[in-house]
Amino acid sequence: MPLLMSAALICPAAHAAGERVKVAGQWFEATARVANTDLLLNGTGLRAVSWFKAFAAGLYLPARADTAASALAMAGPKRLQLRMLRELPADEFVKALNKGVLRNLPAVEAAGFQGRLAQLDQTIAALVKVQEGDAVDLDHEPGRGLVMRLNGKLRGDVIAGEQMFAAVLRAFVGDLPYDEKLKAGLLGRPR
């Protein structure tokens, strides 16, 4: 079963505003700068299966949001950061991401995302694998689209469209997320 789709363990979501958060040995800064805008750390989580830890995740938004609807509707830049806790083949990442994105899109919309999703798949596949300690940033930059960085370095081309980042974020916090506990953690809700 792909790591993104497996059970989740979450670190405490309740953290004081303005404080950085440590998740499985990985620090998430209190703010992140995306598209010349300072974003707030909204929530964090740990993705694991039993003892097998895959990645820690942090969601950065322009303002706090405790529902998926408010996070998705919020204007401005956004970041979903994954901090890898072990080596992971890129093809496993691609399969799980596709499944999460497509199951959270109405069938009518899914056809329109195939080309952009294929572009993201190619960008991830070009990595071959992500290493333990890598930081994968999936950013929404208004007017540009979805931007992926690995350890701060741009990877692939910008994926145009205002809705591509939202489609990816829904896989984590939408109606059919990878895991309800991970969703709660990213939305900063107590579990």
Q: With a cut of 50, which residues of the chain have pLDDT below it? A: 1-14
Q: How far is CA 109 from CA 71, 96, 167, 178, in A?
A: 20, 19, 10, 20
CB 72 within 8 A of CB 61: no
Taken in order of first residue, the domains within the chain and their CATH numbers are 3-186 (3.50.70.10)
pLDDT at 162: 83
Report how far residue 191's alpha carbon sits from residue 177's, in angstroms, rounded to the nearest whole number.
Answer: 16
pLDDT at 1: 41
pLDDT at 142: 96
pLDDT at 16: 54
pLDDT at 108: 83
Report how far residue 170's alpha carbon sits from residue 175's, in angstroms, rounded to the nearest whole number.
Answer: 7
